[in-house]
Structure 1
């Protein structure tokens, strides 16, 4: 499915500020025919950096006082991999690639070690594999309320479990925490999400099962086969769409994604296992 997408970000800079952005579509084999344009005002040449291993694409700008804006547009054909979820098994710890280790350990917003007893009690008896991670997502959807403004950039998965309310990144953090507590590597994914209303940068998570990363979304707000990846990381600290260092005031933000052929949104698919990264990529570059 071909998508047309992008974002417009605006700021009022009060003193010289360094901006680091992560808004460009990831260059994956299953992101076919990616074309993109990027512009900033005033015109500044960025310093570009592609993170080894995960391929996150970072841009750094040094902005002077005054208005500063960034506009990004892209078109990409998303070629998703589909499977019967009952056939997707968990990978034993002894068989995991060693570079999966960061996605098994606790991280800043995902203190999975503190949730191990809870995860084992709730999900320990489910069949190991895609179906167990799906059960985790169902539990989150049924027990955590999606409430805008109920959390902030410092909220952890443990706090979300206690307060029982959060936004997309919190749903993803909690899913990752439960997975890691059960010995399943899991990581946060930022993406453009087709069918998400209102449009926004969306956070979901991937679990490493049967030699491949599989997508999951506890919010159930967008179709898994309409998620165009931007970045991946241990948690939200590693994949913020904008990280400023200096004094500035954020202005309007606009995110967009639509089908390039103009067709309406399909119903979200909930019966298939969905992946957008091939085993060759995930096995050696997690």
Structure 2
């Protein structure tokens, strides 16, 4: 098995309590960085039940995702080399099939941030969310036609549309807290969003939640979900259950590290 469940290197300076991966039964684990810089763990799972768990504490600014509406997109020949990969089609983001549709929908939209926002608006309002619509093989093109999906499907379609419009976009997975959100709170799950390259950097967009959120914790980035699968198995497996939580902790550092598990 290969698992990608560790907090991304971009948040390493914020980690108060490391999110060490604990396996029961205990088996040797080897860790490595993949080609995107994501922290991965590999191990051979024994026959029978195996449990993976971990918790960590991360210091967060408490600020929502940046909102910078004046940023413009860059011409393709002015993009940094490392951004070019995220203009290409990928397993779940078929730019060849969606390009004519994207230009028809967003060709007259404002450029830059406004165009990415128009894409997010479209995806949010035209795709119906529901866990019953989850399908591990569903691609952006299928999402566009089915008009339903989960957060990864929202992200895939938005990523594909951005790339069709020559805006680099990369898929992200991680945790999104309910900090600053009114109750009732939904059952927590791993979340998917994306980042678009505008101006001179990457910026977060979330077509599923469709708003800036506080306490977003990145696990991994890639071209699409195929690059950042939480678990990849080489042999038959069955997921028995899982639980995800991201809670706000307050008080001293001692109280934070000894209190209830934050994730």
Same fold (TM over 0.5): yes
Aligned residue number for residue 61 of structure 1: 43
Q: Does 1:211 align with 2:193?
A: no
CA–CA distance in structure 2, aligned partners of residues 98 and 88 of structure 1: 20
Q: Does 1:139 align with 2:122?
A: yes
From 78, 87, 90, the equivalent of 2:70 is: 87
CA–CA distance in structure 1, aligned partners of residues 55 and 193 of structure 2: 22
CA–CA distance in structure 2, aligned partners of residues 151 and 33 of structure 1: 32
The residue correspondences of 1:184-199 to structure 2 (distance < 5 A) are: 184-195=167-178, 197-199=186-188
Aligned residue number for residue 226 of structure 2: 237
The answer to which of 168-177 and 20-29 deviates more is 20-29
8 Å contact from structure 2 (residues 66, 212) kept in 1 = no
The answer to which of 143-152 and 213-222 deviates more is 213-222
Structure 1 residues 25 and 83: CA distance shift in structure 2, 3 A: closer
Shift of 1:188: 0.5
From 32, 49, 55, the equivalent of 1:49 is: 32
The residue correspondences of 1:10-159 to structure 2 (distance < 5 A) are: 19-28=1-10, 32-36=14-18, 37-52=20-35, 54-79=36-61, 83-159=66-142
CA–CA distance in structure 1, aligned partners of residues 142 and 229 of structure 2: 20
CA–CA distance in structure 2, aligned partners of residues 146 and 33 of structure 1: 32
Partner of 1:213, secondary structure, is strand
8 Å contact from structure 2 (residues 196, 203) kept in 1 = yes
Partner of 1:230, secondary structure, is strand
Aligned residue number for residue 181 of structure 2: none
Partner of 1:103, secondary structure, is helix
Partner of 1:257, secondary structure, is coil
CA–CA distance in structure 2, aligned partners of residues 201 and 250 of structure 1: 15
Shift of 1:85: 2.4
Q: RMSD of the alignment, in Å?
A: 1.9
Q: List gaps (5 residues or longer) in structure 2.
A: 179-184, 252-263
CA–CA distance in structure 1, aligned partners of residues 100 and 135 of structure 2: 26
Aligned residue number for residue 255 of structure 2: none
CA–CA distance in structure 1, aligned partners of residues 210 and 77 of structure 2: 35
Shift of 1:33: 3.2
8 Å contact from structure 1 (residues 193, 223) kept in 2 = no
Deviations 1:199-244 (A, max 9, x none): 1111111101111111111111774332100000101101111111
Partner of 2:158, secondary structure, is helix
CA–CA distance in structure 1, aligned partners of residues 210 and 239 of structure 2: 26
Q: Does 1:201 align with 2:201?
A: no
Deviations 1:151-206 (A, max 9, x none): 41111100111111111110000000100000000011001111272111111111
CA–CA distance in structure 2, aligned partners of residues 181 and 145 of structure 1: 22
Answer 1 or 2: higher relative contact order, Cα 8 Å, separation at least 6. Answer: 1
CA–CA distance in structure 1, aligned partners of residues 155 and 65 of structure 2: 21
Deviations 1:104-154 (A, max 9, x none): 011111001211111111111122111211111111111111122224111
